[in-house]
Amino acid sequence: MNKIYPSAAEALKGVVESGQLMAVGGFGLCGIPEALIDALRDSGVKDLTVISNNAGVDGFGLGKLLETRQIKKMISSYVGENKEFERQYLAGELELEFTPQGTLAEKLRAGGAGIPAFFTKTGVGTIVADGKELREFDGETYVMERSLVPQVALVKAHRADKSGNLQFRLTARNFNPAAAMAGKVCIVEVEEIVETGDMVPDEVHLPGIYVHRIVHNPTPEKRIEKRTTRAAAPTDAAAAKAEAKAVIAQAAAGSEVPAPGTVTTNKQGV
């Protein structure tokens, strides 16, 4: 069975439809299936209910689908980085099912494992538990949460072999494996494709049994959500060497290590 499709648009054909429940992997802008989101926007499907930790940012990630009004409801745990999300929600144009982050992850994991519901203490005594079954275990109250089984899951992985075995890269692993397992149809966007058998078994984070279609996107944008920088290290090699010697000398003497650039004195004030 050939799981590799020539483009994101081709991979979505015959699978995505208006009105679907859909899971999209990623956390913020980390590990989001950029090409698949763009193809979903271009497909024109609408009235989607999207399960995702958040909805991207204005103009990128799922934020693109909010701008085109293709999403009617979000099932999310964090929505603080998207002004259009906020505007639509406050204006009553977008439905929102707020879900604690751990509960959201477990809803997807349980859905992929064939578990229809589970009990958790998270949300008990808050509006999260309104209208849901409560049950007592060992003297503690728990709320029942239904698992999520989306019709389609769009996920991002770093590498796949031709059988669909996936390897995720660092924190981009986040919600992607759980979303992939939960989806009845899983479409994955990857940066590298290798032959079946080329991946060391221990490198496989998700077996190919969960993956139905693969799209190769070797050069994703990988936009940084919030960029922070710090001052560069000293470029004067002689000054840096002298500073290092001073720190070592202070440490050897058992004195407090001075801050970089601090002028130190001995007991004689020299």
Q: What is the 3-state secondary structure (H, E, C) of the chain?
A: CCCEECCHHHHHCCCCCCCCEEEECCECCECCCHHHHHHHHHHCCCCEEEECCCCCECCECCHHHHHCCCEEEEEECCCCCCHHHHHHHHCCCCEEEECCHHHHHHHHHHHHHCCCEEEECCCCCCHHHCCCCEEEECCEEEEEEECCCCCEEEEEEEEEECCCCEECCHHHHCCHHHHHHHCCEEEEEEEEEECCCCCCHHHCCECHHHCCEEEECCCCCCCCCCCCCCCCCCCCHHHHHHHHHHHHHHHHCCCCCCCCCCCCCCCCCC
pLDDT at 253: 78
pLDDT at 265: 44
For domain 4-216, give the CATH number.
Answer: 3.40.1080.10
pTM of the predicted model as reported, rounded to 2 decimal places: 0.81
List the domain boundaries for the chain.
4-216, 233-265
pLDDT at 268: 43
**Low-confidence residues in the chain, pLDDT < 50:** 257, 263-270
pLDDT at 235: 66
pLDDT digits (tens, 9 = 90+) for 206-257: 999 999 999 999 998 888 877 788 876 656 777 778 888 888 888 777 655 4
